A and B are shown apart, each in its own frame.
Chain A
Amino acid sequence: MEMIPHVAKARRRANPYLDLGSYDPEADLMVLNLGPQHPSTHGVFRLKLYLDGEIIVKVVPFVGYLHRGVEKLCEKLTMVQLIPIFDKNDYVSPMMNEQSLVMAFEALLGIEVPRRARYVRTLLAELQRIASHLLWLGAFAMDLGGALGGGSTLFMYCFRERELILDVFEDLTGCRFHYNTHMIGGNRHDVPAGWATKVHAAINAIETRLPEYETFLITNDIYIERTRGVGVVDGQLSMDLGITGPVLRAGGVDHDLRRDAPYHCYDEIEVRVATATAGDCEARAAVRMAEIRESIRLVRELIDNIPEGPLGARKPIKTPLAEKAAKGHAYAAVESPRGELGIYVIGGGDNKGASPYRLKIRSPSLHVLGCLPYILPGHSVSDAVAVLGSVDPIMGEVDR
């Protein structure tokens, strides 16, 4: 694809601290606010764009429109009360939030989780990853195609498949969305009889429809025109900014916590990490599509091999006693669909030590948003929407 030389130069690595005073005054910059209420900002997120014609010159992102003070709330509530609240942070993959929080508390309290619970957690995580990526695919197609254009077709299809996974979750936990299925030391809901058949049916249905999506979108000429070479986040920039997840892997860095720092039962199964080298929107989409396939393979491998045994430690802890609450600190991280989701917790706070003294959430979406001032200059406004959709930020997780 031919590119205008000065645009190509600007795209290579923009300067986010550009002093606009030195900009040519005859260029007549226009300031455009994208958000906080905009159909394609994936939540309440505001981008202040300085435009020269239609080309973006400078970008200033604003966050904080969904700041709910979760970390402050953590200092007031007990550990058990926090688990359902953490569902609401990254509301597209609530399972990962629960798991990271529960793993941090288990590390703090020194509780060993039985093998069966670890298998079930892995299974739930992989199912959740499929659902999350399906939602991303639908929303991304919507961003590219417009609300009433062709993009909404794929949106409808992706939601049809996502409902299959939500049905499976509803059978297990009773909730479509905010599950509260993890406990400190185990899982709350055991796998019901006949559940594996339903999971197989859902997974098979999704797998047969994936090629259809690729025909719709991934091999579409218009799609390639909109995404190839747009919003290149190379591996070095990702590592400088602390970006993890599909955005990092699309830039050619082979890093995945499931393989590199195994948790749950990922050390017993083989995870094939998908990577790409281009680092543009197309590469990020390709990595996510490969992750859906990989998750389907993992779910197939896991669902028939859930070991027998107890689902919780000695006795699942419902209210950790004050003397049991260790006054140490712990960090636990999981590979959420958006990257490394880490929880750092210092024990021994209020409620006689039953609540954390301090809890810090390391959310992948916040780090991903940091790349926008570097990569957006040189693109047009419509490309900004495509880039924002392709990095897949969840504002509940960014603002906490």
Chain B
Amino acid sequence: MAVDESYRTYSHPVYDFMMKVPGLDVMTTTVDKLLSFGSEASLWIFPVATSCCGIEFMALAASRVDADRMGAIVRGSPRHSDVMIVAGTITVKMAPRVKKLWDQMPEPKWAIAVGSCAISGDFYRNIYSVVPGIDTFIPVDVYVPGCPPNPEAMMHGLIRLQEKIRASANGRDVNREARPEAVHHQRLPRLPILGDPARTSELDRQQVASAASLGWWDELNLEQALDSVAKDLADESESEPKV
């Protein structure tokens, strides 16, 4: 049984043995479904509850709208959690910390943006200190609109996330959810989200520079990072005439 294993990067004695035995790959897919059911039915939440939506999030975890009955337990550490629920306004000062917490969470992980501040910045979006939507720096799976959304709406967000996990386990394509439509008289936030073709590398450089100007990120050697970004920019400008 010839299996093309050139793409494989993962190796473990038990795993290698299982892949060599004929028919055992059926078991691996079954185990995969089981794991998916497990992660779907035990979503442990890491709350980044900064402002008003955080209070409604507490109501979600509390007695009337009991999120525990769906297996969604609130944990205080990102290393124990599967879902990050960002509830509330994220400011420029807080955003690097949210990103750091997101990076500390183990895979597989999902993010839910709760409330219009986390989705787009709401009416604070043009204020100098507010990030217009958390999807400018972390990938968001489910958006729950509202100011603040009811606990029932947050519960519906969790259910949508479960449906999404189930769909991905069944092999269906799960694209990232689109940001809710802006009301026609609202202006869209000025920062394009991650993965948007309109997002330039200049914007990345500016975000790194603004993080550097906070002055507490010295240990990450930001000058080096800025140099590398500048080098990338130079490479791009060189390569442009060739195209």
Q: Which residues of A contact B (CB under 8 A)?
A: 36-39, 43-44, 64-69, 72-73, 85, 87-88, 91-92, 135, 138-139, 147, 155-157, 159-160, 162-163, 176-178, 395-396
Contacts and interface: CB of A to CB of B under 8 A. Distances in A.
Chain B interface category by residue count: 20 to 34
B150 A159 contact: no
Given A65-B91, A138-B62, A160-B64, 6 more contacts: A69-B128, A91-B52, A135-B58, A147-B76, A159-B59, A163-B64
A68 B93 contact: no
Given A44-B50, A176-B150, A178-B147, A157 B63 contact: yes
A396 B117 CA distance: 13
A114 B118 CA distance: 39
Interface of B: 48-52, 54-56, 58-59, 62-64, 74-76, 88-89, 91, 93-94, 97-98, 101, 123-124, 127-130, 147-148, 150
Contacts of B58: 135, 139, 159
Contacts of A176: 56, 150
B127 A72 contact: yes
30 contacts: A36-B94, A36-B97, A37-B48, A37-B97, A38-B76, A39-B76, A43-B50, A44-B50, A44-B94, A64-B91, A65-B50, A66-B50, A66-B51, A66-B89, A67-B91, A68-B91, A68-B129, A68-B130, A69-B127, A69-B130, A87-B52, A135-B58, A155-B62, A156-B62, A159-B62, A159-B63, A160-B62, A160-B64, A163-B64, A178-B147
B63 A43 contact: no
A351 to B, nearest CB: 16
Contact of A178 (B52, B59, B94): B52
B105 to A, nearest CB: 12
A157 B62 CA distance: 8
B101 A37 contact: yes
A335 B59 CA distance: 25
B97 A69 contact: no
A388 to B, nearest CB: 15
B124 A68 contact: yes
Contacts of A139: 58
A91 B51 contact: yes
A66 B94 contact: yes
B218 to A, nearest CB: 15
B89 to A, nearest CB: 6
A395 B52 CA distance: 10
Q: Which of A39, A135, A139 has the most CB of B within 10 A?
A: A39
A68 B51 CA distance: 11
Contacts of A39: 76
A87 B75 CA distance: 28
Nearest to A166: B59
A66 B91 contact: yes
A72 B123 CA distance: 12
A180 to B, nearest CB: 11
B91 A177 contact: no
Contacts of A64: 91, 93
Contacts of B63: 156-157, 159-160, 163
Contacts of B54: 43
Nearest to A399: B91
A176 B93 CA distance: 30
Contacts of B48: 37
B51 A88 contact: yes
B50 A177 contact: no
A73 B124 contact: yes
B136 to A, nearest CB: 17
A177 B55 contact: yes
Contacts of B129: 67-69
Contacts of A44: 50, 94
Contacts of B93: 64-65, 67
By Cβ-Cβ distance, the 7 closest A-B pairs, closest first, are A159-B62, A91-B52, A69-B127, A39-B76, A156-B63, A160-B63, A65-B94
B154 to A, nearest CB: 12
A256 to B, nearest CB: 25
Contact of A43 (B51, B76, B98): B51
Contacts of B51: 43, 66, 88, 91, 395-396
A147 to B, nearest CB: 6
Contacts of B64: 159-160, 163
B65 to A, nearest CB: 9
B90 to A, nearest CB: 9
Q: Which of A88, A162, A395 has the most CB of B within 10 A?
A: A88
A178 B148 contact: yes
Contacts of A43: 49-51, 54
